[in-house]
Amino acid sequence: MNSGAEMCFHGTMHILLVEDERRLATAVKRVLEEEGHVVDHAADGGDAYAQAKSEDYDVIVLDVMLPTMNGYEIARRLRASGDATPILMLTARDSIQDRVEGLDAGADDYLVKPFALAELLARIRAIGRRQQMSPANGNVLTLADLELDLRSREATRDGRRIELTTKEFTLLEALMRHPGQVLTRSQLLELVWNYDVLTESNVVDTYIHYLRAKVDKDSELKLIRTIRGAGYAIRAN
Ligand code: CA
């Protein structure tokens, strides 16, 4: 259980709720507002897309089946235009194909209908925590005393410069873009090596080993974690 971390998050978020089922939209809007969030609601896909483009949201809660433009299309268009606002997708069916399509379209997370409102709130809080940990300007990723400057391609730990190869930097960036999240070896292979057919399967483990030697070896706080049977994560607590 990680209730301590949840208790620490008090941020009010500006949320776009895109849902055409009136009763569900009303219920979701009410609980989000009770949590202290500011909620805009759209019931039409085209309207939602225009709204998402015109305002700065912290999270978009996005239904899939909508009039005029579906949720996948909205997510794809937003991502294609460089909009990185976190998207929590509401899918009607729990099929792998639906989930894959949502994630491929650019969704960060998904919930299968019908869902408990408490679970929706938990997902929103998780997105809020991830947002809090990521930098506002997007040029520097920070976790505890580790900093990654994406423009100068420089990494520092406690102000001390860390020399990284291109692949090491990209791997560290992939981990730091998903703080606290477990990334599987195949996800890391895709993100860092683009599934290069010549890549050996143990390359991720090898590079994690290199990264640990450079990033964690001299620090008391070890950031790069092995999640047994799952993959790797970077986290400070
Ligand atoms: Ca719908």
Domain 14-132: CATH superfamily is: Response regulator (3.40.50.2300)
Q: How close is the Cα of 59 to the center of ligand 1, in Å?
A: 18
Nearest to 222 by CA among 134, 214, 230: 214
If you measure from the C-alpha of residue 11 to the centroid of ligand 1, how many angstroms do you get, rounded to a whole number?
A: 28
Domain ranges of the chain: 14-132, 140-234
Q: What's the 3-state SS for 94-155?
A: CCHHHHHHHHHHCCCEEEECCCCHHHHHHHHHHHHHHHHHCCCCCCEEEECCEEEECCCCEE
Q: How many angstroms is it from 35 CA to the middle of ligand 1?
A: 24
In the chain, the percentage of residues whose pLDDT exceeds 90 is 51
pTM for the full model? 0.57
* Interval 17-58: pLDDT, tens: 999 999 999 999 999 999 989 999 999 999 999 999 999 898
Distance 101 CA to ligand 1 centre (A): 16
Q: Where does the pLDDT of residue 221 fall: very low under 50, low under 70, confident under 90, or very high at 90 and above?
A: very high
Model pLDDT for residues 88-140, shown as the tens digit of each residue: 999 887 777 777 788 888 888 889 999 999 999 988 988 877 766 555 556 78
Q: Give the model's pLDDT for residue 132.
A: 61
Q: What is the pLDDT of residue 14?
A: 92
3-state secondary structure of 77: helix
- C-alpha span between 71 and 89 (Å, rounded): 8
Q: Domain spanning 140-234 has what CATH number?
A: 1.10.10.10
- DSSP state letter for 58: S
Task: Please say whether the beta carbons of 155 and 215 come within 8 A.
Answer: yes
* Distance from the alpha carbon of residue 92 to the mean position of ligand 1, in angstroms: 8
